[in-house]
Structure 1
Amino acid sequence: MKERWQLLTFIPSILLILAVGLAKVLFQAPLYNLIEDVAAIADIHPLSGLLSNVGVLLWCATATICFFAAGVLRQTKNYKAIHFCLASACLSTYLLIDDFFLLHDKLFPIYMGIPENIVLMLVVIAVILYLFWFRRTILRSQYGFMLIAVGFLGISVGVDTILKPWFFFLGEWRSLLEDGAKLIGITSWFCYYTNTAYQFVLEKSRVT
């Protein structure tokens, strides 16, 4: 039975490969652009986008840890912890996809006609609702890293939107301020959920 479930993990990869082939047939999309690394396609330095790539890896690690913790806790009756881990995993997954595929920066505003500020506002609302819904769980945890994460991610969003004209004089350093704050926020996000998931699993092991 477990082997069958493990085989299901190949389905997304197979579907993605088929989607790439379909894009080639229907839209004449160059396979090279859909398969190779961005740095190779653009012929730029391999370390281009370093901070962004590290942030994406941390989003991915956070989502994976939360999904794993939810799976481990499935046999317990701690539904609050399970729901918290699942919701955290889904939120982190969206933030991962948004960051990796430039959803609010490029994809939505340029290709779908949805303004960047609208997308960011919806994300902020979703995060606020998430924090409100799970406030008791968060307050019972060691939420110091969460406060740091929300603070620095808020700074990053602020520099990118509201405060952008005020930091124009910084030139390229504004990007370092924005993305540096973002990376610190993501790192804190990762630390919080790693520690919280560990505590949930540790409590589960003590019970069993």
Structure 2
Amino acid sequence: MAVPVAVLLLATLVFGLHPARALRDPAAYVDFPFYVGMFSHLGVLGWWTAAAAGLLAAFTLKEASEQRRMMLWAGLVSAMLAIDDLFMVHDNVMPAYLGVPELPVLAAIGLSGVAYLWRFRALHMQVAPVLLVVCLVLFASGIVVDLVRGSAQDEQGLGILFEDGFKLAGIGGWAAYHLLVARDFLRQRMSPQGDGAG
């Protein structure tokens, strides 16, 4: 536990940051109310829930099984989405610090998700496929609202409410879906029939 903290503190010194900027809660550091970014935080927790479910199942299931590969992909894709959301990678870090435009990064993230869904489409149809479809519709709805809204600002904040509301609901469904899939796969492994299955 001490090693990650030491690495973090060293990184703050290398980049010339005061440790408080990296270690303190953002709302406390800038003296914002506790609820600032609350739903964004919940979204990140949703991504990490899906990632944890996928990776736990992947390291519990038998080696070289299709279920294990799917859960590993699920965990890695969800973790990537969590990191992207948490650190604003595609819309801040990549363009501002690395000079990489937002669109190619978004395309790469989207393609990785599509590849995951397509690669394991047969398994996706076995456990709660309707829930997965609902998640994808919610994500798509958020994207449509974002495209329609563009950079326009509305005083009531209805645009951002619908855009991020759809996104948060989609993340919640994504987390629930992967928890159900992980539970189902692990139950199969623990069943007497699953012991002899490849």
Structure-2-length-normalised TM-score: 0.89
Change (3 A) 1:199 1:24: closer
C-alpha separation between the residues in 2 aligned to 1:96 and 1:148?
A: 20
Q: Report what 1:179 is aligned to.
A: 164
Identity %: 27
**Which has the higher mean CA deviation after the structures are superposed, 143-152 or 88-97?**
143-152
- In the TM superposition, residue 113 of structure 1 has moved relative to its aligned partner by 1.4
Matched, 1:139 2:125: yes
Q: Report what 1:48 is aligned to.
A: 36
Unaligned ranges ≥5, structure 1: 1-9
C-alpha separation between the residues in 1 aligned to 2:121 and 2:102?
A: 28
Q: Report what 1:98 is aligned to.
A: 84
Q: Report what 1:121 is aligned to.
A: 107
Change (3 A) 1:196 1:27: closer
Matched, 1:83 2:108: no
- In the TM superposition, residue 25 of structure 1 has moved relative to its aligned partner by 3.1
For the aligned residue pairs, the C-alpha RMSD in angstroms reads 1.8
- In the TM superposition, residue 22 of structure 1 has moved relative to its aligned partner by 1.9
Task: Give the SS at the match of 1:106.
Answer: helix
Q: Is the CA contact 2:50–2:75 (under 8 Å) kept in the aligned structure 1?
A: yes
C-alpha separation between the residues in 2 aligned to 1:36 and 1:50?
A: 16
Alignment equivalent of 1:64, drawn from 36, 42, 52: 52
Task: Give the SS at the match of 1:163.
Answer: helix
Matched, 1:27 2:15: yes
Q: Is the CA contact 2:12–2:22 (under 8 Å) kept in the aligned structure 1?
A: no
C-alpha separation between the residues in 1 aligned to 2:104 and 2:141?
A: 18
Change (3 A) 1:46 1:90: same
Off by >4 Å, runs of 4+ in structure 1: none
Q: Report what 1:168 is aligned to.
A: 152
Q: Report what 2:6 is aligned to.
A: 18
Residue type of the alignment partner of 2:97: Y
- In the TM superposition, residue 149 of structure 1 has moved relative to its aligned partner by 1.1
